Amino acid sequence: MKPQILVGAATSGSGKTTFTMGLLRALKKRGLKVQPFKCGPDYIDTQFHAVAADRDSINLDSWMASRTHIQHIYNLYAEKADVCVTEGVMGLFDGYNRMQGSTAEIAQILQVPVILVVNARSSAYSVAPLLYGYKHFRPSIKIAGVVFNQVSSAAHFGYLKDACKDAGLECLGYLPQTEGLRMPSRHLGLTLTAKRQMDEVIERTSQLVEQYVDIDKLSSLCTRIFPCQYTLPYTSEVGVESMHRPSAKLRIAVARDAAFNFTYRENLDRLSELGKITYFSPVYGSDLPEADLVYLPGGYPELFARQLHRRKRMMEQLREYAEAGGKLLAECGGMMFLSRSLTVRQGGTAYEMAGIFPIDCTMVDAKLHLGYRQTVYQGLSLKGHEFHYSSVVCPDVIPSVARLRNAKGNEVNTPLYRYRNVIAGYTHWYWGETDILKLWE
């Protein structure tokens, strides 16, 4: 038995990330080993979690991964923890297809209770029917209690407590309306300054959680049997595809710095099964490590375009590696680093990049491109997520080697490029239960 908490929300923007950060830190300050998780494909909130709990956060995504795999990695990472805290995504029941892919589906898969965060800024007793609806809409989703956000006064909280009582839900406390609790911009990069700002906000939030939320009652209501039970259908004994292991351990180079940090922990763990990972920094480093496989994840290259432009030695080594047939996977920001140039602003410099692909990337007229992506390439079925504001100038200058589709199977114009053994595109792939080496067969 251990507390297993899933923080959901009535709607997006309710404050679940803020509350989750504060709760993670408050539990950590009690001397507990806290394991954070994140519903969905987000690779930014997981970095917030790591700052708050001092432990890597694990993605649980019911579209990108099978039910068995989700249960397997939840049990695996939670085993040594005293308490598990999972942050939801969007509103509780919001998925790519009704409830599919939602926070509620993860709660169902893991059989863990939900703490519902409700923004009460412009409401009082009227939240009662909303709470009643959330409790009864899907009775299999257990809502253990409610935490209110943006509460203006003790009197305001009194109305909200009455609403909880009449809706039949436990009221566990609130966060008051407070200035200065806004998280640093999600588009700051994982710089030391941003991490320090983030840590300060998390610490202040944790103090409010300790003062206004009944953490003991919350933990008690969310204590459940561990590990979670596997449910049919099984995909395999451990929820992962057997990975072809090369005869010799591979040397794997992974970019990791303030510009390249959009990674899934489970992807890195799978790579570590193939050999030794050496991390390197395209922004601050000078050499590409000796490698049999190079991974350039996404991130914020546009914030470091000038520094990257100056890494002539690193870019030359990447070109030599590519020409020699080296295996390289680049995602989103990693792909941008392999383009000919990166333009950050209208009328600004087109910073020369590595030039492995004859494409140019720009942040001018930036528009959000967002959504799940899937494809079959080299006989390998891949699922992932696309999230970026940049675009490729003249995207048809080289053809895509695969057709990508969204979660509903509709074709999208997101490309997948290949030059020799360099494979790149805007999609952040999840290969927690996939043999990624099949890309190069």
Chain centre distance of CA 432: 14
Give the number of other CB atoms < 10 A from CB of residue 390: 22
Query: In sequence order, which residues have a C-beta less than 8 Å from that of residue 376 and are 6 or more positions away?
Result: 382, 402
DSSP 292-339: SEEEE-EE-GGGGHHHHHT-HHHHHHHHHHHHTT-EEEEETHHHHHTS
Buried/exposed code over 316-354 (b: 16+ C-beta within 10 A; e: otherwise): ebbeebbeeebbbbbbbbbbbbbbbbbbbeeeeebbbbb
Name the catalytic one among 84, 164, 228, 332. 332
Question: What is the rounded end-to-end Cα distance, in angstroms, of the chain?
Answer: 45
CA distance 344 to 300: 11
Query: In sequence order, which residues have a C-beta less than 8 Å from that of residue 97 and are 6 or more positions away?
Result: 407, 408
Q: Is 207 helix (H, G, I), strand (E, B) or coil?
A: helix
Structure token pair of residue 16: 């679940």
Structure token pair of residue 24: 């993670």
- Tell me whether residue 332 is one of the annotated catalytic residues: yes
Which residues does the annotation mark as catalytic? 332
